[in-house]
Structure 1
Amino acid sequence: MASSSSSSYGVTQIKYDVFISFRGTDIRYGFLSHLKKELKQKQVDAFVDDRLESGDEISPALVKAIEQSLISLIIFSKDYASSKWCLEELVKIVECMARNKQIVLPVFYNVDPSDVRYQKGTYGDAFAIHEKNKRKLSKLQNWRSALNIAANLSGFHSSKFG
């Protein structure tokens, strides 16, 4: 299904229909496995980190997968914000949305969108921990901004589907 598309920054080679950003410990063996099965059944080529080839460096390979996806699906779960890599992925996704007009769909899985938007609840707890690490301080504002932007997009809330 994936093809190439052009953007104002040149041609972006689209390799995947969907990039899925998620916190593995929260959803990998439940919600995500069901989602992957449904997408595969509908012939949607979804990139999940289990597609990384052995020996690939994780960061550059995931950044490339985000850039080469038509859509990014962000699954916000209770511990998403505790992962600095999830937050870095999110910043890249928001950048691709702005620069390449990538479609971004948030899914709020057992978490309130306002907790994501305003970093309350487990998101506030995660940021309190991130703030203790002085090396991360420069990234905090980018992470907060990306969470706010993504949480303000029209998306799906797990309380509204089975």
Structure 2
Amino acid sequence: MDARKAHKASSSSSPSSSSKRGEYHIFLSFRGEDTRYGFTSHLHKALESRGYDVFMDEDDLQVGKVIKPELLQAIEKSKMSVIVFSTRYADSSWCLDELVKIMECRRTLNQIVLPIFYNVDPSDVRKQTGTLASDFQKHTIRHKDEVVKEWRKALTEAANLCAGVLEDR
């Protein structure tokens, strides 16, 4: 066995053993109403079929509820986060709280972050314009200024990363 194969064998873990420890290869962040039964579910299935242990929150999230500690822990314990930005991603304070945590883990834990812009312009995410502008008008009324600033910063930071842009045709 050559050195590369030996290293891979000793450092890899099966999806089941990594999830038992609470660690995931990939955390998927997405707006359920937009992409759960389309793009994101196909992406989830494709990643798992290739042996990746993927965390995908299956619960319907309720407006006004505090982000679950288990969800924050899943973000922290993931090696990578994939953010599926869609037209209504920024409408969800839950998604924005996830995003803030993801970007924090990128800075503090060197987590890999891959944004995917699904039917949304990366520039709109970066600058919170287009459909995101009306979302932030609502957030400005409902939430504290420092929270909204944190969300804006996380969106800009994520949109500045190298990313994939996809559109339905």
Q: TM-score range by the shorter chain?
A: 0.7 to 0.9
Q: Is 1:107–2:113 an aligned residue pair?
A: no
Give structure 1 stretches of 5+ with no counterpart.
4-12, 52-56
Deviations, residues 87-116 of structure 1 (Å, cap 9, x unaligned): 000000000000000000000000000000
Partner of 2:141: 132
Structure 2 CA distance for partners of 1:20 and 1:118, relative to 1, 3 Å: same
Aligned structure 1 segments of 4 or more residues deviating by more than 3 angstroms: none
What does 1:1-162 align with in structure 2 at a 5 Å threshold? 1=12, 15-50=23-58, 59-133=68-142, 135-159=143-167
Deviations, residues 52-85 of structure 1 (Å, cap 9, x unaligned): xxxxx85201100000000000000000000001
Asked whether the equivalents of residues 22 and 74 of structure 2 are also in contact (C-alpha less than 8 Å), the reply is no
What code does the residue aligned with 1:63 have? L
Tell me the distance in 2 between the aligned counterparts of 1:58 and 1:106.
21
State the SS of the aligned residue for 1:50.
coil
Tell me the distance in 2 between the aligned counterparts of 1:17 and 1:66.
10
Asked whether the equivalents of residues 2 and 15 of structure 1 are also in contact (C-alpha less than 8 Å), the reply is no
Q: Indicate the percent of aligned positions where both proteins have the same amino acid.
A: 50
Q: TM-score, normalised by structure 2?
A: 0.81
Give the Å deviation of 1:39: 0.6
Structure 2 CA distance for partners of 1:25 and 1:2, relative to 1, 3 Å: farther
State the SS of the aligned residue for 1:38.
helix
Tell which structure's C-alpha radius of gyration is larger.
Answer: 2
Deviations, residues 25-47 of structure 1 (Å, cap 9, x unaligned): 00000101111110111011110
Partner of 2:7: none
What code does the residue aligned with 1:118 have? K
What code does the residue aligned with 2:52 have? V
Tell me the distance in 2 between the aligned counterparts of 1:152 and 1:59.
27
State the SS of the aligned residue for 1:120.
coil
The alignment yields a C-alpha RMSD, in angstroms, of 2.2
State the SS of the aligned residue for 2:52.
coil
What code does the residue aligned with 1:79 have? R
Give structure 2 stretches of 5+ with no counterpart.
1-11, 15-20, 60-65
Question: Would you say how many aligned residue pairs link Structure 1 and Structure 2?
Answer: 147
Q: TM-score, normalised by structure 1?
A: 0.84
Structure 2 CA distance for partners of 1:42 and 1:2, relative to 1, 3 Å: same
Asked whether the equivalents of residues 119 and 144 of structure 1 are also in contact (C-alpha less than 8 Å), the reply is yes
